[in-house]
Structure 1
């Protein structure tokens, strides 16, 4: 099983592909120097494989690499942050309480 994450800049989302089939995505909106992550979705047939966490991690790694901060409006992204504290620093310090971080 080949898994690949692609940044679809036209649709402002990171997509996860399994064997050339889009399995899901995490969507964001640009907000100044931030990316506001608003929604993550994995197709039912790909559920339970950890793909949501994988696409989120790769999206956050790419975002960090661009020097951007994040606003985790998406519940799945917030859940990821609670399990991976080293990514919490990507949320502006003055906004962390808003997301219970």
Structure 2
């Protein structure tokens, strides 16, 4: 399943539009850092892997931009714990247990 990632910089969020619904990750960018603050997937899309796909696509974009990640969202932190290959993006000193 492939979805088109939209970086909606005006709304400060990454987005997937799926089946007429909007899944999103809200962020704050400051200098060379990006803080992922909240992930939201509509109930209609729950259990379809949309949240994980959105996080993965967002992390790929963060890597492409050369940004340092500060994962404030618990869902993003859990994704990083389960997918340690992305931990290289995380700000040094932040422990993803």
* TM value normalised by structure 2: 0.90
Could you list the runs of 5+ residues in structure 1 that have no partner in the other structure?
A: none
Could you list the runs of 5+ residues in structure 2 that have no partner in the other structure?
A: none
The C-alpha deviation readout for 1:39-94, integer Å capped at 9, x for no partner, is 00000111110100111110110011000011000001001100110111111212
The offset of 1:2, in angstroms, is 7.0
Q: Which residue of 1 aligns with 2:12?
A: 12
Q: Which residue of 2 aligns with 1:91?
A: 90
Q: Tell me the distance in 2 between the aligned counterparts of 1:75 and 1:17.
A: 22
Q: Is residue 8–residue 15 contact of structure 1 (8 Å, CA) maintained in 2?
A: yes
Q: Tell me the distance in 2 between the aligned counterparts of 1:66 and 1:3.
A: 19
Note the aligned Cα RMSD (angstroms).
Answer: 1.6
Equivalenced residues, count: 97
Report whether the alignment pairs 1:80 with 2:66.
no
Moved over 6 A (4+): none
* TM value normalised by structure 1: 0.87
